[in-house]
A and B are shown apart, each in its own frame.
Chain A
Amino acid sequence: MRMLRTGRWITAIALALLAGVYVRALVYTPVERTQGLAQKIFYLHVPAAIWAEAAMVLVGLASIFYLFLKDPRLDRFAAASAEAGTVFAAIVLTTGPIWGKPIWGTWWSWDARLTFTLFLFLLYVGYLLLRGAVADPASRARFAAVVGICGMCLVPFIHFSVYMFRTLHPMPIVLQPGPPKLPGTMLITWLLSLGVFTLLYVGFVVQRYALSYLNEQLEAAGEGL
């Protein structure tokens, strides 16, 4: 129970800080010349995208260690990370079209990056559906680990697609070979936002982890959900 409360506190603090970051982004950070105000969504979109991909990698790493160590804590973490990743992928898929409408003139374009983010989202959905479809906890953990590891292997294919395809999507300007091309104040705002999103991820994962631990104890007592 203490863990659940800690997770709630972390999430609450992260949400408050997110509001703070947006005040900074809207008031104290210069408006981008060509994109105007629409560019402000960048501070939400890119950190969410980074965590959506990173969460999948963490699911995969936890899964690899799970298959060797058979520690249920690793499985619980993988499940929690996958759920948090789903939320971040959903944020990316929502903020993307909102930005796309004024800049590209269309909500959705079948661009490589968008399509692959959608795959990532569906990958999470498949992973979570599989978890729901297996009743026995031991096989559930093993099956989920297998899909998690395969998912992690798919992420590089997804990520490097952006360099390989002709695309409408803006090229990465922070995480790219060479120094960041973002002006100083924008970079600081963006880094603050990335920090807040990291905190948000930790908050989500801690909460989900505590919940699945409690649920496992209920299951063991024969009253699981």
Chain B
Amino acid sequence: MPWSNGIRHAWLVARKDLLVEFRSRTAILSALAFVILVLLAFNFSRDPTAVPAFVLAPSILWVTLTFASMLALNRAFQLELENQAFDGLLLAPISRGSIYAGKLLANLIFVATIELIGVPLLALFFNVRVWPVVVPLVAIIALATLGFVAVGTLFSAMTVRTRFAELLLPVLLLPFMIPPLMWAAWATGPLLAGRPLSEIAGWLKMLAAYDIVFVVMASLLFPATVNE
């Protein structure tokens, strides 16, 4: 049963990461504080009489989530640098694919937690009505998040072992992140403005295509980033 074993191993890797995070809670708390600060900073830069909140909301949402998830992605493999934990992980009798899937899962849960708190805060601060469109909004966020976290997990496995890791990851990742974020932002806009769902179906398809291509690519390429 290699397939179910793979899933079990991936879950073990993810659970390990989440447990480390749950015990210390430093990364998630700083990410959340960061989200609130970015939302506050946006509030100062807008003129509430000139631009209605729901026009700005998509860009604010996606810029905030971009930077917050960058913090999360840097953390995933930084964790393993201490005490050469990553060598231990590579020596463990589990496939490279399971390690990648585990890291991806942990990152997705981490970013989803940030989004789960960030989106209601956005709705609160900018008076955006998200409740009537919550299902398609969650779909857009989930599709976009899966795509860029898949690429980000792959890249952070490499950048963490280079000089200036914190700077290199955003520079390398943003060109890959911005296309899905752009589609997501263009889908969020009409959605919040109360336009029919058929208008955003094209963007959702693009996001889904991106997810399929890059999740498959990243799981195939991950072994190349860790094998010596």
**Residue positions of A touching B, CB distance < 8 A:** 67, 115-116, 119-120, 122-123, 125-127, 129-130, 133-135, 138-139, 142-143, 145-147, 149-150, 153-154, 157-158, 164
Can you add 13 more A-B contacts, CB < 8 Å, to A67-B221, A123-B175, A130-B172?
A122-B171, A130-B158, A130-B159, A138-B228, A143-B225, A145-B224, A146-B154, A146-B158, A147-B172, A149-B217, A150-B151, A150-B214, A164-B206
In the complex, which residues of chain B have a beta carbon less than 8 angstroms from the beta carbon of A157? 179, 206, 209-210
A sample of 14 cross-chain residue pairs with beta-carbon separation below 8 angstroms, ordered by A number, consists of A115-B182, A116-B179, A122-B171, A122-B175, A123-B175, A126-B172, A127-B172, A143-B162, A147-B172, A149-B221, A150-B214, A150-B218, A157-B209, A158-B179
In the complex, which residues of chain B have a beta carbon less than 8 angstroms from the beta carbon of A158? 179
CA distance A194 to B155 in the complex (A): 35
CA distance A123 to B178 in the complex (A): 11
Whether the pair A126, B225 counts as a contact (CB closer than 8 A) is: no
Main secondary structure of the interface of B (DSSP, over half): helix
B155 partner, pick from A116, A138, A147, A164, beta carbons under 8 A: A147
CA distance A140 to B227 in the complex (A): 12
A-B contact count (CB 8 A): 76
In the complex, which residues of chain A have a beta carbon less than 8 angstroms from the beta carbon of B175? 119-120, 122-123, 126, 154
In the complex, which residues of chain B have a beta carbon less than 8 angstroms from the beta carbon of A115? 182
CA distance A154 to B174 in the complex (A): 12
Interface presence of B32 (CB below 8 A): no
Whether the pair B214, A164 counts as a contact (CB closer than 8 A) is: no
Whether the pair A133, B217 counts as a contact (CB closer than 8 A) is: no
Rounded to whole Å, the gap between the CB of B130 and the closest CB of chain A is 26
CA distance A130 to B221 in the complex (A): 16
CA distance A153 to B176 in the complex (A): 10
Interface presence of B20 (CB below 8 A): no
For the complex of A and B, 4 pairs with smallest distance between CB atoms: A133-B162, A126-B172, A123-B175, A143-B158
Rounded to whole Å, the gap between the CB of B186 and the closest CB of chain A is 9
B176 partner, pick from A133, A134, A145, A150, beta carbons under 8 A: A150
In the complex, which residues of chain A have a beta carbon less than 8 angstroms from the beta carbon of B161? 134, 139
